[in-house]
Amino acid sequence: MSQQFDVVVIGGGPGGYVAAIRAAQLGFSAACVDAFKNPEGKPSLGGTCLNVGCIPSKALLQSSENFHAVQHDFAKHGISVSGAKMDVGQMLSRKTDIINKNAAGIGFLFKKNKVANIHGLAAFKGRQGEKWVIEVTDGGKVVDTLEAVHVIVATGSSPRALPGLATDNQLVLDNEGALALTAVPKRLGVIGAGVIGLEMGSVWKRLGAEVTILEAAPTFLAAADQQIAKEAFKTLTKDTGLDIKLGVKIGEVKAGKKSVSVSYELNGEAVKAEFDKLIVSIGRVPNTQGLGAETVGLALDERGFVAVDDHCHTNLPNVWAIGDVVRGPMLAHKASEEGVAVAERIAGQKPHVDFGVIPWVIYTSPEIAWVGKTEEQLKAEGVEYKKGTSGFGANGRALGLGQAQGTVKILADAKTDRILGLHMIGPMVSELVSEGVVSMEFKAASEDLARIVHAHPSLSEVIHEAALAADKRALHG
């Protein structure tokens, strides 16, 4: 006999589990079906983000930055350390502990909010009256049948493979393999200079690997404001030591027994490089295989994403889709907010997610973060703007931290002074960018930020100074 629910969410990542919890809070009977299993073969909620993405990568970044600080920065503080060693096994164990703690936390939240936690692969099987029929399988066997008035598809995304090259996570790695290396490779190759490539490249470079990043695009971080991107490129190559090659045309990639050879063309010259490990990070593709989309006529767009309108509604009645499996940025926080919004729409509310005010963060050292329009976008759109910039070099808090690198840039409408973008590279800018998000959501002007009292000494003073500079009245610049 089928289990009956008001709302069934397919996928337990940041979009799915949040959607299920919010639906339950709104009084609906809700279930979340998730198929992920950890390396021990046990179900683990949280999706790619928690298990093999955002969270574990931050854990490894912090470990590698600590090791680097012991070797290069502590002496400035009068702290002498000799014979420092990195235990990669312990580093990975700490990462796993963080994952397990957070995954268990989601399970606790499901119990607290009375969300049915169902493990397995969910697929549409048809429609009976006003309800959708969903079959759940595990290991190829049917373990459950569900009926739901509303279905929220939150199946996420998977790494895009390099054509003709198998990912074995031994020599050729995706994000999962890059997070599970048991030893520091001497020569690490990375194809793709996006978020995953830069973050994983930074981790293993700080631990002692020679890291070469091959990027097809001629522009570094094309989605970011180019003033910030150019500073980031200089810092990551000069200080971090990443060898980043732009405008690369990848040729034959061949995995041997103990290494991977990559043939590529750069500036018209043929090059062949040999790596002990190769990370492929060339983007992600939506997870729709096995969903049963064709069975019920769920429409996909030309790129394979579930087609939705501005409210995340699909072409089918009471079927919604959120997160990486639909259009828009592949960001965990975007997925979560869409999940909340869909649950509230089912309840008859009218929530809104503004894609123009979603923050982006790259957790390198220093961090890179932005929200809103870049200077390049404003120029292309013919928008008259003004800008203010300030650096961390003279900031007392940054100097005390020993992290006085970076810049903050504010872009505002030349006529109305409304903030159009905030772009930054520097210490803890992943936290500072929220000041820009809040300001833009409340339609603030750069003068508003300039007249708000910022604590001293604090990193946020650099935002304050940039806002002052937008009105040509900087006090420290």
- Do residues 300 and 260 share a domain? no
Tell me whether residue 476 is in a domain: no
Select from 161, 193, 155, 156 the least CA-distant residue to 177.
Answer: 161
Same domain, residue pair 339 and 371: no
CA distance 328 to 354: 11
Distance CA 473, CA 388 (A): 10
At 154 the pLDDT is: 99
Give the CATH number, domain containing residue 425: 3.30.390.30
The answer to whether residues 291 and 152 belong to one domain is yes
In angstroms, the CA 277 to CA 364 distance is 21
Q: Are residues 126 and 272 in the same domain?
A: no
* 477 domain-assigned: no
What pLDDT digit, counting tens, does each position of 130-167 carry? 999 999 999 999 999 999 999 999 999 999 999 999 99
Residue 32 falls inside a structural domain: yes
CA 323 to chain CA centroid, Å, is: 12
Asked whether residue 262 falls in the same domain as residue 173, the answer is yes
Give residue 294's pLDDT: 98
- Cα–Cα distance, 3 to 353 (Å, whole number): 32
Q: Count of alpha carbons within 13 Å of 204, Cβ hemisphere only?
A: 29
User: 223 and 79 in one domain?
Assistant: no
* Tens digits of pLDDT across the chain (477 residues): 799 999 999 999 999 999 999 999 999 999 999 999 999 999 999 999 999 999 999 999 999 999 999 999 999 999 999 999 999 999 999 999 999 999 999 999 999 999 999 999 999 999 999 999 999 999 999 999 999 999 999 999 999 999 999 999 999 999 999 999 999 999 999 999 999 999 999 999 999 999 999 999 999 999 999 999 999 999 999 999 999 999 999 999 999 999 999 999 999 999 999 999 999 999 999 999 999 999 999 999 999 999 999 999 999 999 999 999 999 999 999 999 999 999 999 999 999 999 999 999 999 999 999 999 999 999 999 999 999 999 999 999 999 999 999 999 999 999 999 999 999 999 999 999 999 999 999 999 999 999 999 999 999 999 999 999 999 999 998
Asked if the structure places residue 224 within a domain, the reply is: yes
Task: Name the domain boundary from 243, 260, 282.
Answer: 282
Spatial contact of 246 and 233, defined as CB atoms under 8 Å apart: no
The answer to whether residues 275 and 296 belong to one domain is no
Return the half-sphere exposure (C-beta side, CA atoms, 13 A cut-off) of residue 440. 24
Are both 12 and 142 inside the same structural domain?
yes
Residues of the binding site for FAD: 58, 155-157, 324, 330-333
Residue numbers in the known binding site for NAD(+) are: 192-199, 215, 283
Say whether 454 is catalytic.
Answer: no
Q: What is the CATH number of the domain that holds 258?
A: 3.50.50.60
What are all long-range contacts of 213-217, with beta carbons under 8 Å and residues at least 24 apart?
213/189, 213/242, 213/243, 213/244, 213/245, 214/189, 214/190, 214/245, 214/248, 214/250, 214/262, 214/264, 215/244, 215/245, 215/246, 215/247, 215/248, 216/247, 216/248, 216/249, 216/250, 217/193, 217/246, 217/247
- 47 and 174, same domain (yes or no): no
Domain membership of residue 163 (yes or no) is no
Amino acid at 44: S
Tokens read off for 117: 């936690």
Is residue 310 domain-shared with residue 216, that is, in the same domain? no
pLDDT at site 52: 97
Known binding-site residues equal 58, 155-157, 192-199, 215, 283, 324, 330-333
Are 131 and 264 in a shared domain? Answer: no
**CA gap 315, 292 in Å, rounded:** 15
Domain assignment of residue 154, given as a range = 3-158+285-347
Number of domains in the chain: 3
Does one domain contain both 324 and 458? no
State the catalytic residue, choosing from 72, 150, 454, 456: 456
